[in-house]
Amino acid sequence: MVTVGLAFTSALVAWSATAALAAYAQRRPSIARVGWLVAALGLAVGLSAAVLGAILDFGALTFRLYQIGVSLLGPLYMAWGAVEYGARSPRGRFTSRLFLSAFTIVPLVVLSVDRVRTQFERSYPAFADHYDIIPRGVVGATHLLVLVLLVCAVVGVLRRPDRGDRVPDLTALGLVALAAVLSVLVGRTGLGALGPLLMLGAVAALWGASALAVRPHRRDRFEDEDPYDDEDPYDGGDSYDEGPYDDYDDADEPFESHAEPQEEPVRRRRRSPVPVDDHQDAPLSRQQSRLRGVITIYTLTEGREHGFDQIADAVVEQVAHQEPDTLLFACHTVPNAPLQRIVYAIYRDELAREEHERQPHTLEFARLSAAHVVATNVIELSLSGASASDGLAAMLMPR
C-alpha cells in the first residue's frame, strides 16, 4: 500500500506540474517551454501507468507506457528544452531538432513493439529486466544524447557575454539536469519504493526550472509584464528567452505577420496640455516632473542586425500612430559599435509608460527581437528639465 500511495502521489504531482507548465508556455511561448511541457506530459502518462501497475500488477501495456514516459520522452525532451533555453546558435538548435526527431521516432517504435518479458512485481520495474538487447541499446544511446544536450546547453550559457544573467539560467539548467538524471535512474533500476520518491523529486525539479525560467532577467524585465497582474507565478523568463529565449529565426519576415490582429491597442483619451503663461513657468515645471524616460541598450547577435532593424522600424511606426502619450520613441545605431542599438523613449507620465508596455505591438517587438539580442540594459529616467526645438517631436514622431 505504501508503494501504491507513493506512486499515486507522484502521478498526481506530475499532472499538476504539466498543468503549470502549460500555463507558463501559454503565458510566454517559447520552444524550450514546449519541450519541457512535453517532458512533463510524458512523465505524467508514464507515472499514471505505474499507478495502475502498482494496483493491478504491471503488464506489457503499463510497462511500455511507464518506460516510454520515464525513460524516453521525459529525459529526452527535458534535455532538448535545455538546449533551446541555453544555446544561442541557430545551427546548434537546428542540429538538436534533427537528433530529437530521430531519437523520438526510432526508440518509440522499438519500445512499443519489441518483446517484453512479463514477470512483473508491483514496484516500479527496471528497464533491463524486461527488455532485450535492442531496446536497451537504443535507449542507452538516447540517454547518451541527453547527456550531450545538457552539456551543450550549459556551455551555451557560459559562452554568453552577459554574465549577470548566467546564474538564474545555470540554476534552471541544473534543475532540469537533476530531473533528467533522476528519471533515467528510476527508469533503468526501478529502486522499489524509493522510485516514486525520486520521481517526485524529478517532477519538482522540472517544475522549479520552468518557474525560474519564466521570471524576468534584467534585460527583459519589460517584455510582457502586466502592471495590473498580481499573480505571482507569472511575474515575468528563458531568459530573454529563450528569454528564454523566444524564437524568431526568419530575419526577413515582416513584423506585422506575427501580430495578432484581433488584439486592439490599449488606448485612453488624450489629455489636454497644461496651459502655460508666457511669464509663468510653474505649470511647465510640474509637467516636466511627471515625464518619464527609458533608455534601452541592445547588444545584437552578429549577423542579425538587419532583422532587428526591421522589427524596430515597425514598432517605431506603430508607437507613432497609436500612442499619443509616448512623446518620443526613437531607435539609434552606434557608428563605432555596429552590434549595438539604443532605443530612447519619453512618456508623458508613469501611466503612459505602463500603457506603452502593455500594447500588443510592444509585446510583439519584445518577442520577435529576442532571437536577435544577446544582452539588454535598461536605464530609467525621471526628466528634471529639457529644451528642444519645435520641430523635433514632429521629425521623430510623425502623427
Q: Does pLDDT of 298 surpass 80?
A: yes
Q: What are phi and psi of 383, to 5 degrees?
A: -70, 125
**Which has the closest alpha carbon to 200: 15, 2, 1?**
15
Contacts of 262 (CB under 8 A, 6+ apart): none
pLDDT value at position 29?
A: 82
pLDDT, one tens digit per residue, over 136-152 is 999 999 999 999 999 99
pLDDT of residue 239: 38
Neighbours of 57 (CB within 10 A): 12
Domain identity same for 293 and 212? no
Q: Which of 198, 194, 197, 146 is nearest to 173 (CA)?
A: 146
Interatomic CA distance for residues 250 and 5, integer angstroms: 49
Together in a domain, 47 and 169: yes
- Residues 22, 96, single domain; the answer is yes
Nearest to 42 by CA among 11, 3, 20: 11
What does the pLDDT read at residue 383?
A: 67
Confidence of residue 396 (pLDDT cuts 50, 70, 90): low
**Residue 351 host element (H or E):** helix 350-358
Instruction: Decide if 82 is inside a domain.
Output: yes
Q: Is the Cβ–Cβ distance between 162 and 219 less than 8 Å?
A: yes
CATH of residue 317's domain is 3.30.70.100
Task: Assess whether 69 and 211 both reside in one domain.
Answer: yes
| 227 domain-assigned | no
Residue 168 domain flag: yes
At 162, the pLDDT band (50, 70, 90 cuts) reads: low
Task: Supply the pLDDT for residue 88.
Answer: 78
Name the residue range of residue 364's domain.
255-264+279-396
**211-225 confidence digits (pLDDT tens):** 888 765 544 443 343
Residue 397: what are its φ and ψ, rounded to 5°? -125, 70
Query: What CATH number does the domain containing 33 carry?
Result: 1.20.1070.10
Q: DSSP secondary-structure letter at 270? A: P
Task: Report d(CA 44, CA 55) in Å as an integer.
Answer: 17
Contact between 219 and 378 (Cβ < 8 Å): yes
Q: Are residues 181 and 103 in the same domain?
A: yes
213, 239 in Cβ contact below 8 A? yes
Q: What are phi and psi of 259, to 5 degrees?
A: -75, 155
Q: 318-365 pLDDT, tens per residue?
A: 998 888 889 899 999 988 888 999 999 998 888 888 899 899 999 999
pLDDT tens-digit series, residues 58-94:
888 999 999 999 999 999 999 999 999 988 788 888 8
Q: Is residue 142 part of a domain?
A: yes
Instruction: In whole angstroms, give the CA distance from residue 225 to residue 322.
Output: 20
Question: Residue 102 falls within a domain, yes or no?
Answer: yes
Q: Looking at residues 2-10, what average pLDDT do you find?
A: 82
The number of domains in the chain is 2
Q: Residue 235 domain-assigned? A: no
Residue 163 predicted with pLDDT over 90: no
pLDDT at position 5 is 85
| Same domain (yes/no): 191, 288 | no
DSSP assignment of 82-134: HHHHH---HHHHHHHHHHHHHHHHHHHHHHHHS-B-----SSPPPSTTTB-HH
Instruction: Kindly state whether residues 162 and 52 are assigned to the same domain.
Output: yes
Q: According to the model, what pLDDT value does residue 213 have?
A: 83
Percent of the chain with pLDDT over 70: 75
Q: What is the pLDDT of residues 239-249, one digit of tens each?
A: 334 333 344 44
Indicate whether 49 and 114 sit together in one domain. yes
For residue range 178-229, list pLDDT tens digits in order.
999 999 999 998 877 788 899 999 999 999 999 888 765 544 443 343 433 4
392 band by pLDDT with thresholds 50, 70 and 90: low
Q: State the cell numbers at 294.
A: 527609458
Do residues 198 and 260 share a domain?
A: no
Are 119 and 180 part of one and the same domain?
A: yes
Give phi and psi for 371, each to the nearest 5.
-70, -15
- Residues 194 and 124: their CA atoms lie apart, in Å, by 9
Q: What is the arithmetic mean of pLDDT over 307-322?
A: 91
Q: In this structure, are 308 and 385 located in the same domain?
A: yes
pLDDT top residue among 332 and 392: 332
Q: Rounding to the nearest 10 degrees, give the CA dihedral for residues 296, 169, 228, 13.
A: 170
Q: What is the pLDDT of residues 20-65, one digit of tens each?
A: 999 988 887 888 999 999 999 999 999 999 888 888 888 889 999 9
Q: Mark whether 119 and 190 lie in a shared domain.
A: yes
Partners of 329 in the β-ladder: 345
Residue 259 lies inside a defined structural domain of this protein: yes
* Residue 237 domain flag: no
- The alpha carbons of the chain give a radius of gyration, in whole angstroms, of 26
